[in-house]
Amino acid sequence: MTDIAARKDALLARRTELTGEIARIEDQLDDPAPPDWEDRASERQGDEVLESLGTHDLAEIRAIDAALARIEDGSYGTCVACGKAISPERLDAVPTAARCRNCA
């Protein structure tokens, strides 16, 4: 049986971690551009990587929020497509899973 309280705690902890990462990324992106053209070009490439990481983090936060909403409404661990239980092994691997392995 899945320990919902432990899953919720883990999801909340991951959400807090991601929120901190996004804040650090935003802080780095707000740094002033260096005056040297070559340094600016190099920094722009780094900014693109940071933006990509931030986008990935935001997507993961949305998935976590959806999983937390399913916990609150009692549907966590039930496939949104077929209505069957999502295996604990799948939830261990992907705690935000909304679909069982067969429907994913």
The 10s digit of each residue's pLDDT in 6-51 is 999 999 999 999 999 888 878 876 667 666 656 565 666 666 777 7
What is the number of structural domains in the chain? 1
> Is 2 a residue whose pLDDT tops 60?
no
Q: Is residue 92 part of a domain?
A: no
Domain assignment present for 50: yes
Q: Which domain holds residue 38?
A: 4-76
Is the residue at 70 inside a domain? Answer: yes
What pLDDT is stored for residue 84 in this prediction?
Answer: 97
- The span from the CA of 68 to the CA of 12, in Å, is 8
Judge whether 81 lies within some domain.
no
CA atoms within 13 A on the CB side of 78: 9
Question: What is each CA distance from 10 to 17, 47, 80, 83, in whole angstroms?
Answer: 11, 30, 21, 24
Q: Is residue 63 part of a domain?
A: yes
Is residue 52 domain-resident? yes
Q: What is the pLDDT of residues 38-91, one digit of tens each?
A: 656 566 666 677 777 778 889 999 999 999 999 999 999 999 999 999 999 999
